[in-house]
Amino acid sequence: MTDTEVGEYDIAMKNGKIEQVKPWGKLQSDAERYIDAQGGYVMPGGVGAHVHLEEPPLFGKGSTADNFETGTRSAIAGGTTTIIAFAPQQKSEDTLLDTLSATHAKADKQCYSDYSFYLLVFNPSLKALEEFKALREQAISSLEIYMTYAALQLQDDQILDVLLEARRQRITTMIHAENGQVIDWMTKKLEEKRILSEFIDTPILIVHVSTPAAAKHIREAQKRGLPVYAETCPQYLFLTKKDLDRPGFEGAKCVCSPPPREGEEDHKGIWEGLKDGTFTILSSDHCPFIYDDAVNGKKTVLSNEFPVGHFKYIPDGCPGVETRLALALSAERLSLQKFVEVTSANAAKLYGLYPRKDALIPGQSDVDLVVWYPPGAVGELQLKNEMLQHNVDYTPYEGRKVGQWPRYTILREEAVWDRDGGGLVGKKGYGQFLKKDASSLAGSRSEEDWDIRE
Ligand code: DUC
């Protein structure tokens, strides 16, 4: 099945690409290898479009726990065949090209899944802006900017500089439009941000939207024809404020930014936004930290000064690249096509990877598939951190029941995850860097160019 069609098909593959897709039983083949998926769902592999790996401390104390090896291992075990990870510029750095090469060096020969990058732009100096063109030439077509976190936050004039140059180079800008202090302030900022992008007329993606109220503003902008896209994440569908009150310091493990919201009503609003197209993508915002590291000692939140932890040292972020697809599919709140659309196809389109990724087009699409069990076959599986492949000592979803888990994950024709035949069977280094093109979703409304800096 794809984002547009559900049916019974046989798929033939050759040299890593889809060769033929034929109604079930109609494929003539002398293939040497078969994967029998009868009765189960077969979908394009997930695109994990928002993943933090091997980052220095940016969101509170502590570096992210997963590196490119463990994060991509975790991705394939959860059915995600492509990840897009951040390449964070340092505030003191002018040059984005150096950031990009440093991130390439971290990922090279380490990855189990295919991968690409976004640039996290904290210092949009003239030099950095001039490098946007070279970034596009090096296949980077998206970047993120922040309106919060003192060290990362851009001022409005800097945001305009970034949006204008991004528009010229057909780069999609992701905006972290959030401030946890006052909800009213947040809403006002959201309005401001909408105005900024409308002014420059360039597509933006508002990342990790957590409330139905914010979704409503976005919907209104979309109805006015603006190229405003939005992302939400499993933490806004499955966690609530109550999870922050888990006993001891356990609640800290559900702290993310923005935080989990009140309860079922908020979740319902977010599911509705996924169904009606307000949200373009459902990403994990996988941002993993180790809380109690048996090898290196207690980390991140605990210190000699605060042996039982302190709220201000809680790092922002939850792990989730591996659990994203199983949680969302098991919830049975989306049609199968919508599930594929928001977990993979739209991300591939938005980030210029379509139809190589997340389509079944003969000769063009990579054989990246996730094969699920026939409905009911896994019964009720309890999520446990010990079954996961990430390098994190917890999952916020410990004990939650899911009715599905990927049976196989196939990346460019190779089974890299075989749950009943050894689990992780992919090889480190098999993952390739993916060149991203411009978004194929609707972009600027006019072609007119103008330069406010000249
Ligand atoms: N949100 C998080 O929860 N963590 C890292 C960054 C972000 O935007």
Q: Whose CA is nearest to atom 5 of ligand 1?
A: 317
Cα of 361 vs centre of ligand 1, distance in Å, is 35
Cα of 209 vs centre of ligand 1, distance in Å, is 11
Please report the pLDDT score of residue 52 as a whole number. 96
Please report the pLDDT score of residue 36 as a whole number. 87
Cα of 365 vs centre of ligand 1, distance in Å, is 32
Q: In 396-433, which positions are buried (b, 16+ CB within 10 angstroms) versus exposed (e)?
A: bbeebebbbbbbbbbbbbebbbbbeeeebebeeebbee
Cα of 32 vs centre of ligand 1, distance in Å, is 45
Q: Whose CA is nearest to atom 4 of ligand 1?
A: 317
Please choose from 51, 122, 208 the residue to mutate so as to test ligand 1's pocket, defined by most ligand atoms within 8 A of CB. Answer: 208
Is residue 172 helix, strand or coil?
strand
CA distance 228 to 250: 36
Q: What domains appear along the chain, each with residue ranges and CATH number?
A: 46-348 (3.20.20.140)
- Ligand 1 binding pocket (C-beta < 6 A) is 52, 59, 176, 208, 256-257, 285, 287, 316-317
| AA letter at 15 | N
Is residue 173 helix, strand or coil?
strand
Cα of 438 vs centre of ligand 1, distance in Å, is 25
Write the DSSP string, 412-428: TTEEEEETTTTEE---T
Contact, 300 vs 315, CB < 8 A? yes
Helices (H), 233-330: 235-238, 264-275, 324-330
Q: Whose CA is nearest to atom 1 of ligand 1?
A: 257
Q: In 131-147, which positions are buried (b, 16+ CB within 10 angstroms) versus exposed (e)?
A: bbeebbebebbbbbbbb
What length does the chain have? Answer: 454
Atom of ligand 1 nearest to the CA of 318: 3
Please report the pLDDT score of residue 180 as a whole number. 46
Burial class (CB in 10 A: 0-12, 13-18, 19+), 376: exposed
Cα of 150 vs centre of ligand 1, distance in Å, is 14
**What are the mean pLDDT values of the chain's consecutive 10-residue runs (454 residues total)?**
88 91 86 86 96 88 90 98 94 84 97 97 94 96 88 88 94 82 56 69 91 94 92 98 90 92 96 98 95 60 68 85 98 97 97 94 95 94 97 95 97 97 97 95 73 50
Contact, 41 vs 372, CB < 8 A? yes
